[in-house]
Amino acid sequence: MKHKNFSYAKYGYLFCLPFVLMFLTFSLYPLIFTTSIAFTDRAGPNVAGREYNILTTTVIDEAGNEIEETDLFGNFRLLLNNRGFRNSFGNTLIIWSINFAPQVLLALLLAAWFTNRRTSIKGQGFFKVIFYMPNIITAATIALLFRAMFLFPKGVVNDTMIQWGLMEAPKNFEVDPWASRLIIAFIQFWMWYGYTMLIFISGIMGINPEMYESADIDGANAFQQFFYITLPNLRTIMVYTLITSLIGGLNMFDIPRLYSLGGPDAKTQTSSLFIYGQAFEGTYRYNVASAASIMIFIIIACLSVIIFYLMRDKDAAKLKKIQKEYKKAQKLAQKAGDK
């Protein structure tokens, strides 16, 4: 058996084929449809379907003496000057930053506790299971319950605060922009810390236990083990968490919509809510919605590149190492074949 120049590369393509095929079948058309419409004048309730044959038309601008000019980026310019769009992006960043750091820190702390083999907390299995539960109920139910808690003039929170002497008169949380932002950030935090914790736990459990064993022999304490073994080895999973949380955060939709409908004073209106409103409500400015989606996509992509850059070294090193091993193995296999 001769294996000279045998390449496994074809399997790389082959194993990706199902993904690619399904993507092309179900996502490509919506994607092309959405993207192309951003450069058109398509708006109105029935536009999404009826005149689909001319997707590539562009906005015709009247400039001066009825000279028609194509204006490919008209929708994008409109958005840059749109206070509602800027405001919604600002809201998204604010609400996301409030909930993101506490969420990751708490998740990390819990993951560290629950994977620590020395303290071994009793009933940790129970806690792991319970903490993910807020993610099981639908967002609609959660929003409903939180609304019911913060009611004015009588509600669980108002009544309790007055009873404990923290407030003199009931507060109308619903008209207070910052109260609404904080509550939404809290709901997001509460819904997702369990999820993030599970991700971290699965990452930590993937770390080679021998590393901890030898650290034990060297007399490293729990803190040292966490900072010198767990954290560095969690980096790839951390990249995943940062990126997905960024994407999820900048696309935050359910809770702001169901809890406060973007109010009060549009102070909890997120980018996704703005985009949704453009596409599916009012004047159905589908083209504007599409342009806004593209802009949000570009922002997410830029921020992701930054995250990858900041966290890059380990990734790259690991990949290189695997590549090296791979080549070595190929040679080995060749040799084995030659025998």
The residues in 298-317 that bind other proteins, with binding defined as CB under 8 A, are 300-301, 304, 315
Mark out the alpha helices in the chain (DSSP H runs). Answer: 9-22, 28-37, 47-50, 74-80, 83-115, 124-131, 139-149, 156-163, 177-205, 209-218, 222-225, 231-233, 235-250, 254-255, 271-280, 286-310, 312-338
Q: DSSP letter for 59, please.
A: P
Residue choice 72, 244, 313, 320 for contact with other proteins (CB under 8 A): 244
8 interacts with other proteins by CB under 8 A: yes
Query: Which of 134, 106, 130, 121 shows the shortest CA–CA distance to 200?
Result: 106
**Stretch in the footprint of other proteins (CB under 8 A) among 59-67, 89-97, 160-168, 286-294:** 286-294
- Pairs from 116-121 (Cβ < 8 Å, separation ≥ 24): 116/222, 116/226, 117/212, 118/222, 119/222
Quick one: 94 or 113, whose CB is closer to other proteins?
113
Smallest distance from other proteins to CB 304, Å:
7
**Stretch in the footprint of other proteins (CB under 8 A) among 56-64, 66-74, 89-97, 111-119:** 111-119
**Stretch in the footprint of other proteins (CB under 8 A) among 2-10, 59-67, 97-105, 223-231:** 2-10
CA 10 to chain CA centroid, Å, is 32
113 interacts with other proteins by CB under 8 A: yes
187 interacts with other proteins by CB under 8 A: no
Q: For residues 48 and 41, what is the distance between their CA atoms, to the nearest angstrom? A: 12
Quick one: 98 or 174, whose CB is closer to other proteins?
174
Smallest distance from other proteins to CB 161, Å:
15
- Per CB under 8 A, contacts with other proteins among 44-103 are 44-50, 52-53, 82-85
Q: Taking a C-beta distance cutoff of 8 angstroms, is the pair 241, 311 a contact?
A: no
SS3 253: coil
Smallest distance from other proteins to CB 114, Å:
9
- Per CB under 8 A, contacts with other proteins among 248-277 are 251, 253, 257, 261, 263-266, 271-272, 274-277
Q: Beta partners for 68?
A: 62
